[in-house]
Amino acid sequence: MKKCSHSHHHALAELNITPLLDLAFVLLVIFIITTTPVVNDLQVKLPTAARRPKDPKPKINYVTVEDSGKIYLNQAEVTMDQLQGKLTDLRFVDPDLNIVIRGSAKTKYGNVVAVMNALQDSLILKVNLATDPAPDGPPAAK
């Protein structure tokens, strides 16, 4: 007759909480280290910084393309040839020129591409496309 060890089966039924305690202690140490002390006992007179004017924000120029194909540069209507010339002039004045293209949602894609080509030909590197924020909720399938 074979005798079974009951202690072996009894050990499998118990829950080993050693890894759980290790995790709790690690989290406790992390919280202690990352918490900043609230009390500062030392009074120190800090030096004052010199007041320096802030750098001006870069001026952003807008190119607007309407549904009808009309193009505006900063609210002044221009043709495609005038647009490229004016963009080149603006780039010589400000080499770090920022342009935002505001194309109507119903405008033809080719009009916006033509404006982007004019920007590329004028060697303007900072170009953004303006969009409206999406409404809350899942995107609508069309």
Cβ–Cβ under 8 Å, residues 129 and 101: yes
Given a cut of 60, whether residue 6 has pLDDT beyond it is no
In this predicted structure, which of 7-11, 34-38, 86-90 has the lowest mean pLDDT?
7-11
What's the confidence (pLDDT) of residue 93? 85
- Residue at token pair 């043709």: 79
For the chain, the domain total comes to: 1
Q: Kindly tell me the burial class for residue 23, based on how many C-beta atoms sit within 10 Å of its own C-beta (0-12, 13-18, 19 or more).
A: exposed
Residue 39 lies in a domain: no
| Cβ neighbours of residue 124 closer than 8 Å, sequence gap 6 or more | 87, 91, 97, 99
Radius of gyration of the chain (CA): 33
Residue 66 lies in a domain: yes
User: Tell me, what CATH number does 125's domain have?
Assistant: 3.30.420.270
pLDDT tens column, 67-84: 888 888 888 888 888 888
Residue 9 lies in a domain: no
* Residue 88, domain extent: 60-129
Residue 31 lies in a domain: no
Residue 27 lies in a domain: no
pTM value?
0.53
